[in-house]
Structure 1
């Protein structure tokens, strides 16, 4: 196949279907992948007030397919926005009423959804459109695709229930390679989205462990968990419980998260600490205002370190710095620091910060203040 070229004859890069899996491996665990999908609903341009995360089964040709679903009550997507969501590196998010977006790289949905399962379908209701798009590794394998193709269909009007003629090929592929066999089934799923607008993401062929078990455990009531090993090493509850993780995911949440039918209660981590001290702050050279740092002592003293946020979103949790890295400094054990580092640059998977000079200066400064707080 000849490579596509620019008007000047320069070959354009091709994105292989294998990249979907490669890109997803940036998430070391499923919770950070789930957070990417929550972020998409949380961003101010979507204007969602709630998101529901559930496990469900869809019967396809007599076979029950285990699915993970995300549904929000946001503004919904038209065909152009759906195409942007299923494309790479396109992000036109902007602040709304002073609220900054979390997404910035145009990669979160692709890396997050493909980390959780091989296949995803997005169904969305906006004010004027009903729209469906599919991102599926299985589909691309079955059609022997050389580049990533994303079937997208939209309807003339919400009342018409007719697929546009130019979308018929996409409709055929979606019906052949998704859990939905007929146009009526798609429409039923779309109309089941409560409210005038909203979006539902359905992920299937969910990730399994090397032993063949589901990576995510749905058996705990009102929670989704990761099965931890029996090494005996204590880990924070937020490492194994999605409910606990989501409770600290945002410093000041403006959207309600619901898991398996039950709302997640907000948990300001510093409110549960002892010996809270709000007198500390840090002034980077690149910002005008000082950044508050809240220190306190975790009652259990098992889990401690910095809780580092960016634009209200948790990036690094329980990150030990300075004297906490040395076992002999017992006074710092159990100390938790909370800081919102909007001056730093998160990595593209939002699990860390870029290891640059501003980051190193921040860690150095906070480590000094931790020593002072700990009385070392």
Structure 2
């Protein structure tokens, strides 16, 4: 091992750890998302990120290029090393990354070797994270060769960098300094980063990605599980459900990856049509969650999926980033078609994601949240079922009614702000700008976005079905109360009017009502002692009796 490289070796980690660290990403798109997060985070703040497949020296490569702020060689070293995370919130833009591990785990999950080209306007740097290289030099610890260039394209710190440069040229796909500089030139503008990953993970003698089915997408091929005999996309928790497109299409997954997208993602030359997920539903209503372990309330948005009723459940985000998609709760867990088509959206910043950002730690807070989401989804489903049945008296389930989103929102290709459009606009140009807005109030990129409804204290709809259910229960309860006739009050056997008259005549008038009331009280006491009696029926009997006392 070249002695000059030891200055970059601070981790003292075994090279095998690079693979072990990547195994948390059982689903390959979660590894891709880590690299997108790095470009999205505020310290980079990229406006666009390009994801593509290319061929270099007969190696199939994945490339990730962004137009963010770029990095110095020192910052690049921190990204490629373990134990560093200096991400902070900038102007309200909260970083997704928590542990400083995203690039290492993500890149090494996708392939065995990765090279990073970056420039920040003042300098240019190249870093090399490679399992193949570490095996070739029989390294005992992780070594990361990094070389830096100045504005004049000359190597900085030539004594220290020469060994790193030699290692990169010998063991990477780029055998000359000119080829390295050419990749730096491929980054458009003065700032940005380009990542190239090769020796992609293979599956049955082919890469685990399907690049052929759709030339504008990167897909996971459907596979037959030999153990269960079922087909799936390496998303085991959906084996008995219809897989949403986001499980196997990177384009579909990226369209919902962020609750409010701030970065454009271009996959294989075509822009991803990102969605404002909370605005793209039909029959939208909002509810609030007031957990006892928080001092504030949390908004939940419910609505119906307009694209495919078979894709439903809760979309759980954390700091704007999707963690769990289409998580079924409440009545959706039962095999009775309840809750079909209903999508709920919540930003769970109070929960802690797992390291691969595909689940939450299974804490008591998480369990309480899932239970509450189930109750509130049930409320929404029951309310919509009643409401839409009244609007559409035809015998059609609410999930089968033809729907369109309540609102139309579009993102400006220049400022990346989201704008609400008037109803009735269905066709939009490939590129849309604020200047195209029919609303003159928001026709300029300098105008802020429309403010969100900040009422987090009250639901936006009244749960009338609960009142109706309570009324039905009350009526059924009344129907179960035994009917007590006058004959029941006066004796256990029917008495003729004549015999009653004789009894009446034999009793002084002043004592008649007293006698009846005495008998009535005995009857009530007997009724209270019977197994079928209940407080409601007792009150009803009392109401029937006491008028005789007047």
Taking structure 1 as the reference length, the TM-score comes to 0.91
User: Deviations for 1:333-362, whole angstroms, at most 9, x for unmatched residues?
Assistant: 222111111111111110111111221221
Q: CA deviation at 1:13?
A: 8.1
Q: Using the alignment, how far apart are the partners of 1:13 and 1:235 within structure 2?
A: 41
User: 1:120-269 alignment to 2 at 5 Å?
Assistant: 120-155=114-149, 157-165=150-158, 166-209=160-203, 211-219=204-212, 220-229=214-223, 231=230, 234-269=242-277
Deviation per CA, 1:53-105: give whole Å up to 9, x if none: 0011123xxxx221100000011111110111001131100000011110010
Q: CA deviation at 1:229?
A: 2.5
Alignment of 1:261-300 (within 5 A): 261-278=269-286, 280-299=287-306, 300=308
2:343 equivalent to 1:342: no
CA distance in 1, matches of 2:291, 2:164: 51
Which residue number corresponds to residue 108 of structure 1?
Answer: 102
Deviation >6 Å, runs of 4+: none
Partners of 1:171 and 1:161 lie apart in 2 by 12
SS of corresponding position for 1:52? strand
Partner of 1:119: 113
Aligned residue for 1:375, secondary structure, equals helix
Distance of aligned partners of 1:98 and 1:271 in 2 relative to their CA distance in 1, 3 Å threshold: closer
Deviations 1:250-305 (A, max 9, x none): 01111111000011111233444333222x01123454432111112235331211
Secondary structure of the equivalent of 2:338? helix
What whole-Å deviation, never above 9, does each CA across 1:176-219 have from its counterpart, x for those lacking one? 1100001111011112211010000000001110x111111112
SS of aligned partner of 1:104: coil
Determine the C-alpha separation between the residues in 1 that align with 2:291 and 2:128. 44
Structure 1 residues 177, 96: CA separation in 2 closer, same or farther (over 3 Å shift)?
A: same
Indicate if the aligned counterparts of 2:11 and 2:81 stay in contact, CA closer than 8 A.
no
Partner of 2:439: none
For the aligned residue pairs, the C-alpha RMSD in angstroms reads: 1.7
Indicate the residue corresponding to 1:42 in structure 2. 40
Task: Return 280-289 or 30-39, whichever deviates more.
Answer: 280-289
* Match among 300, 313, 316 for residue 308 of structure 1: 316
> 2:416 corresponds to which residue?
none
Aligned equivalents of 1:185 and 1:272: distance in 2?
45
Q: Distance in 1 between matches of 2:242 and 2:376?
A: 27
Contact (CA 8 Å) 2:147, 2:155: kept in 1 or not? no
**Higher percent of residues as helix:** 2
Residue of structure 1 in register with 2:326 after alignment? 318
Secondary structure of 1:226's aligned partner:
coil
The aligned length equals: 357
Higher RCO, 1 vs 2 (CA within 8 Å, ≥6 residues apart): 1
SS in 2 for 1:217: coil
Q: Distance in 2 between matches of 1:331 and 1:114?
A: 42
Matches within 5 A, 1:349-364: 349-364=356-371
Answer yes or no: is the 8 Å Cα contact 2:282–2:304 preserved in 1.
Answer: yes
Among 18, 29, 52, the alignment partner of 1:54 is 52
**Alpha-carbon distance in structure 2 between the residues aligned to 1:41 and 1:120:** 16
Partner of 1:3: none
Gap regions ≥5 residues in structure 1: 1-11
Structure of higher CA gyration radius: 2
* Cα distance in 1 for residues equivalent to 2:17 and 2:339: 43
Higher strand share goes to which structure? 1
In structure 2, the residue corresponding to 1:238 is in which secondary structure? helix
Q: How far does the alpha carbon of each residue in 1:298-345 deviate from its partner, in whole angstroms, 9 at most, with x for none?
A: 3533121110001110000111123222213x2222221111111111
- Between the aligned partners of 2:206 and 2:375, the Cα distance in structure 1 is 45
